[in-house]
């Protein structure tokens, strides 16, 4: 199937993106985040960071319908595709937004692949304002679809789900669990008896992470054991593309902020942007960011219009984006000189977020390995 021009960015999607960007510009998410970071400057020796987000802003986002962009119309949502979700994800990255929105968008695309009455009900609940996220990884960090350390038996879950992003912000979890019949997917509420949440210490200041321990916790079956791996694999292109879009948005912020700084920072009676040693790294950032954005848009368009090529395009996008996360973070911090390392500068917040994003759903090396298997 041929893809539409402009990567499927219709007038409605472009308007959606612009409106969301204006909303976040007014809200200034980092300014709201900073007070919650006091005492957690050192993630490995300070206090454990809470999963902060501005609940008032989240409720406004729910009222405006951004949380339900990827929820089908039959379930009360807006019913848009991955191209629209990527438009939001890019702005999330550019503003380093700390809300349940990223995790909920990921959950929506997995639920859409499950196609069960229980999955439809969770989508309906999301449209009504509930949040959800994925708890699908084992302790070893394997990114394969059967890597879970949770088991399902007699209607209950036992074991531990690791590396759950934004766990402290979520109302529900989609848990991958193994049984004698294979891997299934299950719905568990965050306040469900038998579920305990243990925050992890991570460098990223804008997200939280935790591991969930299940002690015979009752769970609702979303996807029967034996079918979970197929559903996870089908949703993988969307998960990779959303992660890559976040990186592209953050890289754009790093590029623009660094370019502006190079115009005002003086050295030898000239702006540092006058010198080729500064100009060339900024140009490298620009080229890399534009390349990532193009690959992300192409992957989103393929998912919506050309499913057979979606996985290849998604691996390409996340591979490139992971490299961009590293390059943009290094260059932006270096070109800000000593101030880039300081707690007061936002540069270090984006640097830490980007390095975390680099490894979400696999870094560039892993993506290229999987890509080679498809060729």
Closest to 297 (Cα-Cα) out of 320, 281, 275:
320
Show the CA angle centred on residue 127, arms to residues 122 and 129, nearest 5°: 95
d(C-alpha 206, C-alpha 188), whole Å: 25
d(C-alpha 295, C-alpha 255), whole Å: 18
As annotated, the residues of the chain forming the CATH 1.20.140.10 domain(s) are: 229-374
Contact residues for 266 (Cβ-Cβ < 8 A; gap 6+): 272
CB-based contact 87:237 (threshold 8 Å): no
CB-based contact 124:112 (threshold 8 Å): no
Task: Provide CATH code, domain 134-226.
Answer: 2.40.110.10
Which tokens sit at 331?
């260059």
Which tokens sit at 211?
């591991």
d(C-alpha 271, C-alpha 279), whole Å: 11
Burial class of residue 31 in the structure, from the number of CB atoms within 10 Å of its CB (0-12 exposed, 13-18 middle, 19+ buried):
exposed
What was the pLDDT predicted at 262? 81
Q: What are the start-end ranges of the H helices in 8-100? A: 11-27, 29-33, 55-64, 82-94
DSSP 34-54: GGGGTT-SSTTTSPPPP----
The pLDDT tens digits for 318-338 are 999 999 999 999 999 998 888
The per-residue b/e assignment along 249-265, b for 16 or more CB within 10 angstroms, e otherwise, is bbbbbbbebbbebbeeb
What was the pLDDT predicted at 51? 80
As annotated, the residues of the chain forming the CATH 1.10.540.10 domain(s) are: 5-131
What was the pLDDT predicted at 1? 56
Could you say which of 1.10.540.10, 3.50.50.60, 3.40.640.10, 3.20.20.140 is the CATH number of the domain covering 5-131? 1.10.540.10
What was the pLDDT predicted at 4? 82
Q: What is the pTM of this model?
A: 0.95
What was the pLDDT predicted at 274? 61
As annotated, the residues of the chain forming the CATH 2.40.110.10 domain(s) are: 134-226
Closest to 218 (Cα-Cα) out of 176, 246, 187:
187
- Backbone φ, ψ for residue 132 (5° rounding): -150, 155
Residues of the chain short of pLDDT 70, as ranges, are: 1, 266, 272-274
What was the pLDDT predicted at 49? 78
Could you say which of 3.20.20.140, 1.20.140.10, 1.10.150.110, 3.30.70.1560 is the CATH number of the domain covering 229-374? 1.20.140.10
DSSP 104-173: HHHHHHHHHHH-SHHHHHHHHHHHTT--EEEE-B-TT---STT--EEEEETTEEEEEEEEEETGGG-SEE
């Amino acid at each position: 199937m041929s893809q539409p021009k402009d990567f499927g960015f219709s007038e409605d999607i472009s308007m959606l993106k612009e409106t969301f960007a204006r909303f976040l510009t007014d809200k200034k998410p980092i300014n709201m985040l900073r007070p919650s970071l006091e005492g957690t400057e050192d993630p490995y020796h300070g206090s454990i960071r809470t999963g902060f987000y501005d609940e008032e802003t989240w409720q406004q986002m729910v009222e405006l319908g951004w949380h339900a962009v990827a929820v089908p119309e039959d379930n009360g949502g807006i019913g848009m595709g991955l191209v629209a979700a990527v438009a939001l994800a890019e702005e999330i990255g550019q503003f380093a937004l700390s809300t349940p929105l990223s995790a909920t968008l990921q959950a929506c695309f997995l639920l859409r692949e499950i196609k069960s009455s229980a999955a439809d009900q969770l989508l309906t609940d999301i449209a009504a304002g509930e949040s959800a996220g994925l708890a699908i990884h084992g302790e070893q960090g394997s990114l394969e679809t059967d890597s879970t350390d949770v088991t399902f038996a007699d209607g209950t879950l036992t074991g531990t789900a690791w590396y759950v992003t934004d766990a402290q912000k979520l109302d529900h979890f989609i848990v991958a669990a193994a049984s004698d019949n294979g891997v299934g997917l299950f719905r568990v509420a965050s306040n469900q008896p038998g579920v305990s949440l243990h925050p992890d210490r991570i460098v990223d200041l804008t997200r939280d992470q935790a591991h969930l321990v299940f002690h015979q916790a009752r769970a609702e079956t979303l996807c029967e054991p034996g079918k979970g791996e197929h559903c996870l694999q089908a949703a993988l292109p969307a998960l990779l593309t959303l992660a890559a879009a976040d990186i592209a948005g953050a890289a754009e912020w790093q590029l623009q902020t660094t370019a502006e700084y190079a115009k005002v920072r003086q050295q030898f009676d000239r702006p540092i942007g006058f010198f080729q040693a500064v100009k060339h790294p900024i140009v490298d950032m620009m080229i890399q960011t534009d390349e990532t954005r193009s690959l992300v848009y192409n992957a989103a368009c393929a998912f919506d219009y050309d499913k057979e090529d979606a996985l290849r395009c998604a691996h390409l996008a996340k591979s490139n984006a992971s490299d961009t996360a590293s390059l943009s973070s290094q260059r932006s911090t270096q070109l800000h000189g000593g101030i880039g390392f300081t707690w007061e500068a936002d540069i270090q917040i984006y640097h830490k977020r980007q390095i975390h994003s680099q490894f979400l759903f696999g870094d560039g090396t892993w993506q290229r390995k999987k890509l080679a298997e498809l060729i």
